[in-house]
Amino acid sequence: MSDAVLALKGIVKTYNKGQANQITVLDELDLELKAGQLVALEAPSGSGKSTLLHIAGLLDTADAGTVHVGGALADGSDRLRTGLRRASLGFVYQFHHLLPEFSALENVMLPQLAAGVGRTVADEWSRHLLGEVGLSERVSHRPAELSGGEQQRVAFCRAVANRPKVLLADEPTGNLDPGTSDTVFQALLGLVRSQNMAALVATHNPELAARMDRRARLEMGRISWLS
């Protein structure tokens, strides 16, 4: 193994569209990410971007190939895959999916409490993360009391609350206006850098993609590096 914290090797994923019609979405795909590396994933619609993110995030399985997270092979065991997903992977989506009945602070604390972290430690760490993204004065606000950009920043903090090795983000600024998108991206960038995570960020925004360490394009089932 290399020093990659996320390594996909020879990934194949095929969908059946009727008895004689198979579509290969991912075709012997290889991808590696190292700690502290922020990679933009650019992909045309229908190219398999979500499938790739789901396989990388151990939410789906490939028909062939291997996925290593933090050096550990994610085999077919549901228990192992669930353990790796909880311990080593963070997820951010286009829509924040915050729990509306809880405050920003509580939303960030919840995954830590579920992982067995003590309430005092979870409270302190959550306040620290929210402070890093400029939300120190908003910790007690519920999602409905926050702007779209603030909600997404809370979602970022929740995603990294358990100190994952890898962050996977699917169009995390896709529903925001350009100015808010820039602010939110800066927050994401700061969290990734401060926690030394690897991050794979799917985006259709070429300006944001250009600000990441590398740009990868998914097309015809494989990854090509643009920078």
Nearest to 200 by CA among 10, 15, 36, 40: 40
Nearest to 178 by CA among 201, 208, 156, 155: 208
Between CA 110 and CA 97 the distance in angstroms is: 13
Strand order across the beta sheet in which 64-69 lies: 22-33, 6-16, 64-69, 72-73
What digits encode the pLDDT tens for the residues 117-166?
999 999 999 999 999 888 999 999 999 999 988 998 899 999 999 999 99
Q: What three-state secondary structure class fits 87?
A: helix
State the pTM of this model: 0.88
How many Cβ atoms from other residues are within 10 Å of residue 90's Cβ? 25
Q: Which two tokens stand for residue 176?
A: 């925001």
What digits encode the pLDDT tens for the residues 33-86?
999 899 999 988 888 899 999 999 999 999 999 999 988 888 778 888 888 888
Q: What three-state secondary structure class fits 41?
A: strand
Rg (alpha carbons) of the chain, rounded to whole number: 18
- Residue 204: predicted pLDDT: 85
Between CA 81 and CA 62 the distance in angstroms is: 13
- Residue 18: predicted pLDDT: 62
- Residue 51: predicted pLDDT: 92
Between CA 126 and CA 108 the distance in angstroms is: 6
